[in-house]
Amino acid sequence: LGYYGDGLNAIVVFAVCFMPESSQPNYRYLMDNLFKYVIGTLEMLVAENYMIVYLNGATTRRKMPSLGWLRKCYQQIDRRLRKNLKSLIIVHPSWFIRTLLAITKPFISSKFSQKIRYVFTLAELAELIPMEYVGIPECIKQY
């Protein structure tokens, strides 16, 4: 978590390489509780605008959240949180992620779709946000 701009605008970093593998027996339980934790944290921290940096590099397909889980998360996010999200930056987007978002585009709001941005390198990310406030895991740096 970091901040950008003049106000307390949060930068939330989500590193998929740390997600549990879908083959774990308690995977659904872990994912449901992870979602509750993330939403609870966002509700406490986000008073104003925020952005999410989704670090997809160095991630196997088994660690990527399913389409159903992502849809459920989107539907359960409070309107205020959706409105205050200024940008969803996907770093090192895989072909799978880009295809998934293209397929789901008709089912999500056009305002939300406009907030999604693909970034292919950490150097490109550094042009968008102040990197001194963003903790990038070593596995992503080496990707």
Residue 9 has a pLDDT of: 76
Q: What is the DSSP secondary-structure string of 8-72?
A: TEEEEEEEGGGSPPTTSTTHHHHHHHHHHHHHHHHHHH-SS-EEEEEE-TT--GGGSPPHHHHHH
**What pLDDT does residue 47 have?**
66
Instruction: Spell out the residues 6+ positions from residue 128 whose beta carbon is closer than 8 angstroms to its own.
Output: 87, 89, 117, 119
How many whole angstroms separate alpha carbon 50 and alpha carbon 3? 8
pLDDT for the residue 91: 95
Determine the structural domain holding residue 102 and report its residue range. 2-141
Domain containing residue 125: CATH number? 3.40.525.10
Residue 118: per-residue pLDDT = 96
* Number of domains the chain contains: 1
Q: With a cut of 50, which residues of the chain have pLDDT below it?
A: none
